[in-house]
Amino acid sequence: MSGTRRLIVAIDGPAGAGKSTVAGRLAAHFGLLNLETGAMYRAFALKAIEKGIATDDAAALEKLAAETSIALQPTPAGNRVLLDGNDVTARVRDAAVTQAASQVSVHPAIRRWMVDLQRKLGENGGVVMEGRDIGTVVFPDADIKIFLDASPEARGERRYEQSGKAAPAEAILKEIRERDQRDRNREQSPLRPAPDALVIDSTDLTLEEVVSRVQELVTARLAVPGR
C-alpha cells in the first residue's frame, strides 16, 4: 500500500475520548505508524518527577527539556517509550505521571520543544498521530483531521472502567474536568478542533462505531488519485 506511506492522520481531542485506542486500531489496519504524543509528555513529566522539579517551575522544566531525549519505538504490541534511552513504557501509565503531564504541558516553552520533536517523528508521513494540537499546530496540513470528543461524564465513566474501578468515579470525573480546563484554556496551543477537522462525538457511540467511521474516512482519502 504505497500510498499510505505519506499519509498523515491527526486525531485530537480531550482526555478520555478514546484517541489512543482509535489511533492504535487505525494504524494497525492501514499499516501506519502510531505516534502517541501523550506518552511523550508523560515521559517528560516522569523525568521531572524523578528530578524533583515542580510542574509549575517553567525555567527549570525548560532547562530539563534541553537535556532530555524521548523516542517512540513501534512494536507489534504497541509503542515502547524511551526516555534518555531507557524503556519507561510501563511507568508513564502511572496516574501521578499522567496528572503531572497535564501540568507540564501548559508551559509554552515545553510545548514548542515537544512540537518540534513530534514534527521530526512524523515528517516522512505514513503516520497516525494523536494528541491535543496535532491538526492545529503540529501538522496543520495533515491529510485527515479528526477531533474525537465526548461528554465529561462519558469520558469519566470510561476511565473509571479502564482503571478497574480502582478510584472513585467522582474523583475521576473531577480530574477529567480539571484536565479539560487546563487543556482548553492554556496559552500555548489550546485544545480546539482544527477548522477543517471532522468532529466525532462518541458519547453515544461504541468504540467499534467510532473506529469504523474513521476507517471509512481514511479509505476514502486513499482512493483519491495521487494517494
Domain span at 55: 8-215
Note whether residue 221 is domain-resident: no
Note whether residue 66 is domain-resident: yes
Total domains, the chain: 1
pLDDT on residue 8:
93
Note whether residue 82 is domain-resident: yes
Note whether residue 184 is domain-resident: yes
Q: C-alpha 63: how far from its chain's center?
A: 23
Note whether residue 129 is domain-resident: yes
pLDDT on residue 5:
42
pLDDT on residue 226:
56
Buried (b) or exposed (e) across 49-74, using 16+ Cβ within 10 A?
Answer: beeebebeeeeebeebbeebebebee
Q: CATH number, domain at 43?
A: 3.40.50.300
Q: Report how far residue 63's alpha carbon sits from residue 110's, in angstroms, rounded to the nearest whole number.
A: 10
Is the CB of residue 114 less than 8 Å from the CB of residue 188? Answer: no
pLDDT in tens, 73-94: 888 777 899 999 999 999 998 9
pLDDT on residue 161:
84
Note whether residue 80 is domain-resident: yes
pLDDT on residue 23:
92
Query: pLDDT by residue for the chain (227 residues), tens digit each?
Result: 444 447 899 999 998 898 988 999 998 888 888 888 889 999 999 999 999 999 999 999 999 999 999 998 888 777 899 999 999 999 998 989 988 998 999 899 999 999 999 999 888 888 999 988 999 999 999 999 999 999 999 999 988 887 777 778 899 899 899 989 988 888 778 899 999 999 999 999 988 999 999 999 889 887 775 55
Note whether residue 222 is domain-resident: no
Note whether residue 57 is domain-resident: yes
pLDDT on residue 147:
96
pLDDT on residue 225:
59
pLDDT in tens, 15-43: 889 898 899 999 888 888 888 888 999 99
